[in-house]
Amino acid sequence: MDFATRIVDQLNPLSDGNVVLYFITVFVYVYTFIAVWLARHAAWRLFCLVFNQIFSFGVFSSWATAVVISYTYWRYALGMAVFALICALVPLLLRRRRDRPVWPR
């Protein structure tokens, strides 16, 4: 049972370990981002840039995961909103300006 609780604790985004890991990742990402611009030596700048890109991929993947989870959760509501929008726009887009015949007087 202890093994299962450790796995569940790792999946909890608000667990102590995940919060600490998140702030360490943000700190390293910001530090290397600033160091790329302030470094005087090209080798140090390249090292910080590579390290920053590794962490930026981690930040990108976490944002992408959040978007995918949100999309999966809200997919039905988004589908209904798109359907309602199409139903509202179709009569407007298909409306033709008809020339009415002019009746002689």
| HEC profile of 19-40 | HHHHHHHHHHHHHHHHHHHHCC
Extract the tokens encoding 12: 């909890």
pLDDT tens sequence across 14-54: 667 767 777 877 787 788 878 888 888 888 888 888 877 77
Please give the pLDDT value at position 41: 87
CB neighbour burial string for 20-57, b if at least 16 within 10 angstroms, e if fewer: eeeeeeeeebeebeebbeebeeeeeeeebbebbeebee
Cα 28 to its chain centre, rounded Å, is 21
Please give the pLDDT value at position 52: 78
Of the chain, the end-to-end C-alpha distance in Å amounts to: 93
**Number of other CB atoms surrounding residue 62 within 10 Å:** 13
Please give the pLDDT value at position 11: 65
| Statement: the pTM of the whole predicted model exceeds 0.75 | no
Please give the pLDDT value at position 87: 92
Please give the pLDDT value at position 84: 92
How far is the C-alpha of 63 from the C-alpha of 103, rounded, in Å?
A: 65
Average pLDDT for residues 70-98, to the nearest whole number? Answer: 82
